[in-house]
Structure 1
Amino acid sequence: MDVLEDLKSLQFENGISEEDRSWLYLRGRSRGLMIEACAHAVFFCKLVRNLRELIHENQDSTSLTGDSADLAAVEEEKLKVGIIGGGHLGKQLTSALLQLGPVPAESLRISTRRPECLTEFQKLGVQCFYHNAYLVVWANVLFLCCVPSQLPRICLEIQNSLKTTCVVYSFVAAIPLPRLKLLLNTTNILRPKYQCTEDFDNIWGANKEITAALRDPVIFRATCPYSPAGGITLNIKWLEGVFYACLNICTASNMAHSQALQLLNKVFLSVHYEGCKTDETSCPKFQLADFVNTVYMKNMFHKRLFPWFDLIDVQLKETPFSQRLSSSTVLQDHLTHLYCDSFGISLVNKEKPVVSMDSSSQ
Structure 2
Amino acid sequence: MTDICSGLTILSIEAELTVDEKKLVYLRARSAGLTFCGCAHAVFVCELVHSLKCIIKRRTAANDLYASKRLDELSVGILGLGTLGKQLLLCLLKKTTIRPKQIKISTRNPAKECVPPGVECFFDNRCLAAWADVLFLCCLPSHFDRICADLHSHLQKHCLVYSFITAVPVNRLAERLNHSFILKPQYQVEPCDTSDLWLSCSRVTEGLSDPSLIEASCPFAVKGGITLGLNWVCGVLYSLLNICTHVCLGSREALSLINSIFAENCMNNETLNAESFIASTSFLHPNESFPWISLVDTQTTMTPLLHFVMNSKTVQENIFTTYKSYLKSTIK
2:217 aligned partner: 223
Deviation at 1:322, TM superposition (A): 1.2
What CA distance in whole angstroms lies between the structure 2 residues aligned with 1:139 and 1:177? 19
TM-score, structure 1 length as denominator? 0.84
Q: Which amino acid is the alignment partner of residue 287 of structure 1?
A: N
Q: 1:5 to 1:246 in 2, by over 3 A?
A: farther
Counterparts in 2 of 1:91-106, with a 5 A limit?
Answer: 91-106=86-101
1:198 aligned partner: 191
1:287 aligned partner: 273
Q: Which amino acid is the alignment partner of residue 303 of structure 2?
A: T
Q: Which amino acid is the alignment partner of residue 289 of structure 2?
A: L
Counterparts in 2 of 1:2-151, with a 5 A limit?
Answer: 12-61=13-62, 73=69, 76-119=71-114, 121=115, 123-151=116-144
Deviation at 1:301, TM superposition (A): 1.4
TM-score, structure 2 length as denominator? 0.92
- Structure 2 counterpart SS, 1:77: coil
What CA distance in whole angstroms lies between the structure 2 residues aligned with 1:108 and 1:5? 42
What CA distance in whole angstroms lies between the structure 2 residues aligned with 1:5 and 1:229? 30
- Structure 2 counterpart SS, 1:163: coil
- Structure 2 counterpart SS, 1:106: helix
Could you tell me which runs of 5 or more consecutive residues in structure 2 were left unpaired when the two chains were aligned.
none
Deviation at 1:51, TM superposition (A): 0.3
2:230 touches 2:306 (CA, 8 Å); kept in 1?
no
Deviation at 1:207, TM superposition (A): 5.6
1:268 aligned partner: 262
Structure 1 runs (4+) greater than 4 angstroms displaced: 3-12
1:248 aligned partner: 242
1:4 touches 1:11 (CA, 8 Å); kept in 2?
no
Deviation at 1:197, TM superposition (A): 1.3
Identical counterparts, % of pairs: 35
What CA distance in whole angstroms lies between the structure 2 residues aligned with 1:161 and 1:150? 18
Q: Which amino acid is the alignment partner of residue 295 of structure 2?
A: L
1:79 touches 1:140 (CA, 8 Å); kept in 2?
yes
Counterparts in 2 of 1:166-205, with a 5 A limit?
Answer: 166-199=159-192, 201-205=195-199
What CA distance in whole angstroms lies between the structure 1 residues aligned with 2:234 and 2:162? 14
What CA distance in whole angstroms lies between the structure 2 residues aligned with 1:105 and 1:224? 27
Could you tell me which runs of 5 or more consecutive residues in structure 1 were left unpaired when the two chains were aligned.
277-281, 346-362
1:259 aligned partner: 253
Q: Which amino acid is the alignment partner of residue 203 of structure 1?
A: L
Q: Which amino acid is the alignment partner of residue 46 of structure 2?
A: C
- Structure 1 counterpart SS, 2:198: coil
2:76 touches 2:104 (CA, 8 Å); kept in 1?
yes
What CA distance in whole angstroms lies between the structure 2 residues aligned with 1:53 and 1:191? 25
Q: Which amino acid is the alignment partner of residue 73 of structure 1?
A: K
2:220 touches 2:229 (CA, 8 Å); kept in 1?
no
* Superposition RMSD in Å: 2.3
- Structure 2 counterpart SS, 1:61: coil
1:187 touches 1:312 (CA, 8 Å); kept in 2?
yes
What CA distance in whole angstroms lies between the structure 2 residues aligned with 1:52 and 1:207? 32
1:269 touches 1:335 (CA, 8 Å); kept in 2?
no
What CA distance in whole angstroms lies between the structure 1 residues aligned with 2:286 and 2:128? 37
Q: Which amino acid is the alignment partner of residue 33 of structure 1?
A: L
Q: Which amino acid is the alignment partner of residue 303 of structure 1?
A: N
Q: Which amino acid is the alignment partner of residue 148 of structure 2?
A: C
